[in-house]
């Protein structure tokens, strides 16, 4: 999954607030074995659901980033979250 653009409030999911003019790969928790199942986007925040196959079970995770106004990221607070 790649992102680029202005990056206000960490909307690109790259862990910083730096503007990107070309596509940059989003690193989901440092694990390159995650496969993107779905992506959900809002005006100023995004979510990605990943899937990873393991030997005896499968693991799904949800990553969120961007503006956390009114707790939109669901992380239990209203603080800005860059990734």
Confidence at residue 19, expressed as pLDDT on a 0 to 100 scale: 95
pLDDT confidence bin for 44, thresholds 50/70/90: confident
pLDDT band at residue 81, thresholds of 50, 70 and 90?
low
Alpha-carbon Rg for the chain, nearest whole angstrom, is 13
CA distance linking residue 15 with residue 10, whole number of Å = 7
DSSP 8-state symbol, 81:
B
Mean pLDDT value across the chain: 85
Contact 28, 34 (CB under 8 A): yes
Model pTM? 0.77
């Amino acid at each position: 999954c790649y992102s680029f653009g202005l990056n206000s409030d960490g909307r690109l999911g790259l862990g910083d607030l730096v503007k990107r003019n070309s596509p940059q790969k989003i690193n989901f928790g440092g694990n390159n074995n995650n496969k993107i199942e779905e992506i959900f986007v809002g005006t100023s925040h995004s979510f990605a659901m990943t899937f990873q196959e393991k030997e005896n079970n499968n693991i799904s995770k949800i990553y969120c980033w961007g503006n956390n106004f009114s707790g939109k990221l669901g992380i239990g607070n209203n603080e800005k979250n860059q990734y």
